Every structure is written in structure tokens, then in C-alpha cells.
Amino acid sequence: MTKNILLVCSGGMSSSVLVKRMQKAADTRGIDTRIWAVADVRSTEAAKEADVILIGPQIRFLLNKMKERADGKPVAVIDMMQYGQMNGEKVLEQALALLPESNQ
């Protein structure tokens, strides 16, 4: 089953850089994923298609709002250091760990 991982940041720019690295990490491991990034403004619509939502640390103050939008789906803030180093491997792990067991 494809795992839909949504990244959200302020403008959808910096997280899109991370998307590429995460996708690469997922491809190497042979995990079927769809990873994409959107700006905060577009997150309500995008959240409907996601299985797990990760938000950039710079908009961590919007965590509660994002949880409302996520409708019970797992939401978490990306670790600052991993975000800064654009560590696709580690952030992918964080996303996978958040997935409900039925989808792991």
C-alpha cells in the first residue's frame, strides 16, 4: 500500500528540498511512498490525501491547528536538526514510525 507522506512548511519551498531526499531514501529501501510538500495555506485540502503529516519546525506553532485539519491522522513536527541537515533518511523513519500499524 502506498504510504502518503505530506510535509507542510510556510511556503512549501524548504520542505520540497527535503521531499526529494526522503523520496530517494524510500526508493533505496524499496518502500512504496508518495511524498509531497505544500504551503501552510494549502494544507487543509492536501491533508485529506495524506496518511501522515509532518510540519517544518519553523511553523511548529501551528501544530494544534494542523491536528484539527488532519482529522485524527498522525501529525508531528520534524526534528530541527534533521530538518536543517535535510536528512531524508531520518525524517522518512520519523514518518514511517508515525503510521498506524495497519499501514506499516
Active site residues: 9
**Cβ neighbours of residue 70 closer than 8 Å, sequence gap 6 or more:** 47, 50, 53
- By C-beta, is 66 or 95 nearer to another protein? 66
What region does 62 belong to: left with phi over 0, alpha with psi -120 to 50, or beta? Answer: alpha
What is the distance of C-alpha 22 from the center of its chain?
9
Calpha distance 56→10 (Å, rounded): 8
Nearer to another protein among residue 3 and residue 21 (C-beta):
21
Cβ-contact 47, 69 below 8 angstroms: yes
Shortest Cβ 7–another protein spacing (Å): 12
Q: Does 98 bind another protein (CB under 8 A)?
A: no
Pattern 2-41, another protein, x by CB under 8 A:
-------xxx-xx--x---------------------xxx
- Positions that interact with another protein (CB under 8 A): 9-11, 13-14, 17, 39-41, 56-62, 64-65, 80-81, 83-86
